[in-house]
Structure 1
Amino acid sequence: MSGPGAERIVVVGHGPAAHRLVERLAHHGHRGEVTVLGAEASAAYHRPLLTSVLDGSLAAGALRLPAPPDGTRLRPGVTATAVDRRRRLVQGSDGHGYPYDRLVLATGAAPLVPPLPWARRADGRLAPGVRVLRTLPQCEQLTGPDPVAVVGGGPLAIEAALALRRRGRDVTLVHRGPYPLDRHLEARAGQLLSARLRALDVDLCTGRTAEAYRSGKLRLDDGRWVAAGDVLLCTGVVPRTGLARSAGLAVRTGVVVDDELRTTDPRIHALGDCAQPAGATGPHLGHAAAWEQAEVLAALLSGSPARWTGTHAVLRLRAREVDLMRLGTPDGAEETVVLSDAARGRYARLSLRDGRVSGAVLLGPGRAVATVTRLYRRGEPVPADRLALLLGAPIDYAGERLPDEAPVCHCNNVTGADLTAAWCAGARTVPELAAATRATTGCGGCADDVRSWCAARARGEESG
């Protein structure tokens, strides 16, 4: 077996988390052989931006991630079928065995299809007209002109509904809860979100479930029939844990990992949507968490000490028409500040502990979203004028160096260092920075921050 930093690594999965891990292994100087088994035949792509392909604002090719570092053994279209822990060997669907010193499971998650009798055929496949959204080919199935019903009330359901409206399709959003995002928002914020969606011509059916689907119509439990050439199920995801279970690893909802992202076999790690940190109630922590896990694991596998201590809880809609962010938790707040402006569709609830943001819900004021997120992630004290903050007091980066590790674009996890590198390579305008880094190409909520950063950088060079 090779020593630390030079071990043979096999990565099962080639989504954004796995891609980031392989990239960071090279950055940290890992010297061993790295093999990646990717179930999809296509190159790795940025899955969080699928709704930008759905609405036509991005071509499918724009989501493609850079090629892996030189020397990476990439095996697209190859699924791992078994793990022999004793021999340290992964069996591939191509008939080959892949030996490892360290194995990383990045198998991701699959769309959760609820037990609705009309959603599946007798052979278990989705019924005609019933869709899910997890891959680029699934985006292509939703390009027709017919009305569509989106079933679900989470972030993806809202983002998909708005993307389909931008595409010109009539959309009905069916959710069994009292309002979309009811697991994340208090009633007042939920009511304002519902009003905003209706103003955007989304037919919102809350407190309803779907009972039947046939002939291009979806029947709700109140007897109403909704026109739906397609029914898109956005009802959650389930971690892909079959490989881990068959290998005898501990699995709850996801593959159980410790603070070094090790499973119950210390030579096997897991990260991303398939992993469940010990003590967590669920595995799905979002794209930002997977990104942070990849950084930690790359350092560890390259011989550097590192621990994953958890991530800041952040939920942000990737929809340009609705700027909404939920951060942290209100638990243990010493001070709560609420702004409710129904006439302008704005709502903000700020939970503070020791003068710092411990939780927040913000709907509407885009600049306030950016400012509060920055304060939360950096643990900085909140300005004394709370109202000005929630109303969107402008950020001024002049005279301030944005920390290299600070995320600017949360959709694409673009940091200050990424912007600086692109600037030094010749990207001097917001469109050029967007093309080089993908910043601003997600929900668009970071556009003002990138514009301010760009202006401050230009001023700094002029004065220097």
Structure 2
Amino acid sequence: MNGRRRVLVVGGGVAAHRLAEKLHDHGHRGGVTLLEPATPPPASEPAGTVPALVVPGALPTGLDLRRREVWSLRDGVRVRHPYDVLVLATGARPLVPDVPGLRMADGRLSAGVLAPRPSPGPAEGEPPRGPVAVVGDGPAALTYASDLARRGVDVTLLCRGRYPLARRLDEHCGALLAERLALSGVTVLTGRALRRRVPDGLLLDDGRELPAASVLLCLGATPDTGLARAAGLPVGAGVLVDHRFRTSDPHVYAVGPCAEPVDGELPRRYADFDQDVELDQAEALAEILATGRTPAGSRPELGVPGDPLRLPSRVAELFCVGRPDDFTRPGVRVVTLSGAGDDGHARLAVRGDRLVAAVVFGLPKAVAALAHLHRHGRRLPSDRLSLLLGLPSGPPSSAHGAADDLVLCLCNNVSRRALSGAWRAGARTVPALAAATGATTGCGGCTRELTQLCRSLGEAPPAPPPASRTPERPAESRRPLEAA
């Protein structure tokens, strides 16, 4: 793409901001404009070095594909925004169930009913007053409930299943997660459904009334395709795109939760879209637009059932990937570890040296390592127990240090031998070793081991240089010199 073309991005989420940042990094020197429907907090604005014009409070009202322009409404004024390249990053809209009392007659949410964004960050601002009911059993519901409880709010998590994340976890892990939430101050109410919003409460399907001054609906989201659909772009569950994130119009692209690959599948319940995938898509599209190159592995990936799910560590150390039935597929070997550390639990489905499915709870190093290995398509190390316990993989240490074949970085399979060689070649710090070998660039759990290795190698006496053999001189040349 011509680096001077005008790029217009519609949306104010993480995908829109990452795209604006990375366009500049990849050499784009044209104008970049972000139309944000809401006014974002200062922390969410793109970095000042990015040549982007951020237009907050600009509600898109129309898209003219022939004229290549978007119309928006801002402060009651209709504004035209021309573009050479348009990127739709409109995200997804929260789902609101058809339950009496949740909406007013005009369609707006009733007082005290909130449908927050699907990807919560750390809670900020004044917490709600009075008891709060969080409806849902997905990652967003768990995160909001946990954050509110940590701030002293009386909060109840209302789950339809037998335990939180019932569609993704086995029963044992689900029970551990419910216990962890209860210990953090969340009242977990399972197997119940919402029937009606009543004054200061919720009526449940068993006839009970749950006190709730505020109700947070965390029941997933649906891709926001209104602008694309009205303009005549092909739309399925999301805006249809090819492997380069391009729509049927060669000047219009879509990225993030609003996009759907033409050969892919997007579920109606859109609760588990991985923010890491969203950021990866934005970075890949930035490279495509700035350079014309398609990065390897940039095919649009969306939140289909079985995609990796990782809770924020402030909620619980939890990682899962795959579906429950993946553990019973032919040719799959199941590795289970329970009772490790503080209620640690892990269950892996492995075919050969590839991860098929996993449920890991309470094992932070294993969570980080497995998430990294799966995301980058890496092979599992042969020592599965060390992987799950977060230990170096390989033979035991000798009196003078670890054996050379000991794997210190499980994520990138970097051995002590490789690290020692990089150290001798001049990489004398942890960042330098990371740049030379890739160690610590996965989950970061081996940083301490690398620090100790640098210290031990620095204190060790230098290895003597290999002896050079000098060719023997002929016998006559070794005779003592005679005095003249």
Fold in common (TM above 0.5): yes
Aligned residue type for 1:306: T
Q: Given the alignment, which residue of 316, 325, 330 partners 2:310?
A: 316
On the 8 A contact 2:241/2:262 being kept in 1, the answer is yes
Residue matched to 1:83: 63
In structure 2, relative to structure 1, the CA distance for the partners of 1:176 and 1:84 (3 Å cut) is same
**Matched residues in 2 for 1:152 and 1:400: separation?**
37
Distance in 2 of aligned mates of 1:196 and 1:332? 34
Relative to 1, partners in 2 of residues 1:68 and 1:462: Cα closer, same or farther, differing over 3 Å? farther
After TM superposition, the structure 1 stretch with the greater mean CA deviation from structure 2, 17-26 or 373-382, is: 373-382
Aligned length: 408
Cα separation, partners in 2 of 1:215 and 1:318, compared to 1, 3 Å: same
Which amino acid letter does the alignment assign opposite residue 17 of structure 1? A
- Give the match for residue 341 of structure 1: 339
Instruction: Please give the per-residue CA displacement for 1:257-314, whole angstroms capped at 9, x wherever unaligned.
Output: 1100011212110001111122332175321111111111111111331052245932
Of 176, 181, 186, the match for 1:197: 181
For 1:190 and 1:399, the matched residues in 2 are separated by 32
Output the CA distance in 2 between the equivalents of 1:461 and 1:30: 44
Greater relative contact order (Cα < 8 A, sep 6+): 1
2:47 counterpart SS class:
coil
What SS does the aligned partner of 2:103 have? coil
CA distance in 1, matches of 2:456, 2:322: 34
Q: Which residues in structure 2 correspond to 1:113-132 (within 5 Å)?
A: 113-132=96-115
Matched AA of 2:51: G
Shift, 1:156, TM fit: 0.7
**Residue 449 of structure 1 corresponds to which residue in structure 2?**
445
Evaluate the alpha carbon distance shift between residue 26 and residue 79 of structure 1 in structure 2; reply closer, same or farther with a 3 A threshold: same
Distance 1:458 1:125, change over 3 A: farther
Given that 1:22 and 1:68 are in contact with CA atoms closer than 8 Å, whether structure 2 keeps it comes out as no
Residue 241, structure 1, aligned to residue 237, structure 2:
no
Matched, 1:270 2:254: yes
2:243 is the alignment partner of 1:259: yes
- Is the Cα–Cα contact under 8 Å of residues 333 and 351 in structure 1 kept in the other structure? no
Aligned to 1:217: 201
1:38 aligns with 2:36: yes
Counterparts in 2 of 1:378 and 1:139: CA distance versus 1, 3 Å: closer
Contact kept, 8 Å, 2:392 with 2:409, in 1: the verdict is no
Runs of 4+ in structure 1 deviating by more than 4 angstroms, as ranges, are 135-142, 394-403, 456-464
Shift, 1:101, TM fit: 1.5
Classify the secondary structure of the residue corresponding to 1:375.
Answer: helix
Greater Cα offset, 303-312 or 162-171? 303-312
TM-score by length of 1: 0.78
Task: Give the equivalent residue in structure 2 for 1:373.
Answer: 371
- Residue correspondence of structure 1 range 167-206 to structure 2 within 5 A: 167-206=151-190
Kindly report which structure 2 residues correspond to 1:401-412, keeping only aligned pairs within 5 A, or say none. none
Q: 1:137–1:367: structure 2 CA closer, same or farther, 3 Å change rule?
A: closer
1:98 lines up with 2:81 in the alignment: yes
- 1:175 positional shift: 1.4
Task: Give the match for residue 292 of structure 1.
Answer: 280
What secondary structure does 1:93 align onto? strand
Match of 1:388 in 2: 386
Larger Rg: 2
Cα distance in 1 for partners of 2:411, 2:162 equals: 41
- Match in the other structure for 2:138: 154
Provide Cα deviations, 1:400-459, integer angstroms capped at 9, x if missing partner.
Answer: 6998xxxxxxxxxxxxxxx969x99xxxxxxxxxxxxxx9xxxxx96x738638846975
Q: Which amino acid aligns with 1:18?
A: A
Which among 358, 361, 365 is matched to residue 360 of structure 1? 358
Please say if residues 162 and 319 of structure 1, whose CA atoms lie closer than 8 Å, have aligned partners that are also in contact.
Answer: no
Q: Is the 8 A contact 1:104 1:269 kept in 2?
A: yes
Which residue, out of 15, 22, 25, partners 1:24? 22
Partner of 2:422 in structure 1?
Answer: none
Contact 2:155 2:187 (C-alpha < 8 Å) held by counterparts: yes
TM-score between both structures, scaled by the size of structure 2: 0.75
| Contact 1:273–1:286 (CA under 8 A) maintained in structure 2 | no
Aligned: 1:9 with 2:3: no
Q: Which amino acid aligns with 1:120?
A: R
User: Alpha carbons of 1:200 and 1:303: their partners in 2 closer, same or farther (altered >3 Å)?
Assistant: closer
- Structure 2 residue runs of 5 or longer lacking an equivalent are 394-401, 413-429, 436-440, 463-484
Q: CA deviation at 1:255?
A: 0.8
CA deviations over 1:329-352 (Å, ceiling 9, x no partner): 536763221223399533211122
For 1:213 and 1:309, locate their aligned partners in 2 and report how far apart those are by CA, in whole Å: 43
Following TM superposition, by how much is the alpha carbon of 1:173 offset from its aligned partner in structure 2, in angstroms? 1.0
Matching residue's letter, 1:122: A
User: 1:200-246 CA distances to partner (integer Å, 9 max, x unpaired)?
Assistant: 34222211111223332222111112221211111111211110100
1:64 equivalent to 2:64? Answer: no
**Structure 2 Cα separation of the partners of residues 6 and 231 of structure 1:** 48
Contact 1:368–1:393 (Cα < 8 Å) also in 2 = no
